[in-house]
Amino acid sequence: MFQVSRIPAARLLGAAALSFASLASLSAAHPAAAVGTDAGAGARVGTGVPHGDHLTVTVRNAGPAADGTFELYCHPAGGSHPDPAGACAVAERDTRWGQDTFAPVPEGSICTMQYGGPATAHVTGIWAGRPVDVTYDRRDGCEISRWNRMVPLLPEVGAQGRS
């Protein structure tokens, strides 16, 4: 006669429940998949604070009109940033699954030895559901190019004042 123990059955049931929970969390849509849509737009209940993407941009030494700390909200665009729609659009343009929108210049890159000025920017917050804490400067050709790709999130510098 064949006898079934309750312990293996309980382990099997527990493993099945754990597998189901793991699959459910993996199948949830990544926030970057909703970029360009108003999914998630609105405000947190009772706070009046948007819960879409939020960045704080602090710019130094870029000029009196560009320096300061600006709040940027996306989905929908808003905040104290001078061009919230443009800033959100430039960040969305480079948002891809599995890639860091704000990635540093790859180590070992060959960069031109040019100086783009003393401007720096520090960007913090949440973008596509991921924390952001990144610094920009203009110390060489690669960093200048990296900065310029993020205009108008970062102010346009370098071309002003030339005849």
Predicted local confidence at residue 12, as pLDDT: 42
| pTM as predicted | 0.67
Q: Mean pLDDT in runs of 10 for the chain (163 residues)? A: 51 45 38 37 40 91 96 96 97 87 95 97 95 97 97 85 39
Angle (CA) 132 76 127, round 5°: 15
Predicted local confidence at residue 6, as pLDDT: 53
Predicted local confidence at residue 20, as pLDDT: 41
The answer to whether the CB of 48 falls within 8 A of the CB of 125 is: no
Predicted local confidence at residue 46, as pLDDT: 37
Q: Specify the 3-state DSSP secondary structure of 70.
A: strand
- The C-alpha atoms of residue 3 and residue 102 are separated, in whole angstroms, by 60
Task: Classify each residue of 43-73 as buried b or exposed e, where b means 16 or more C-beta atoms within 10 Å of its C-beta.
Answer: eeeeeeebebbbbbbebeebeeebeeebebb
SS3 percent helix, strand, coil of the chain, rounded to 5, is: 30, 20, 50
Predicted local confidence at residue 3, as pLDDT: 54
Q: Please name the residues in contact with 85: beta carbons below 8 A apart, sequence gap of 6 or more.
A: 77
Q: Is the dihedral of CA 92, 96, 102, 108 positive or negative?
A: negative
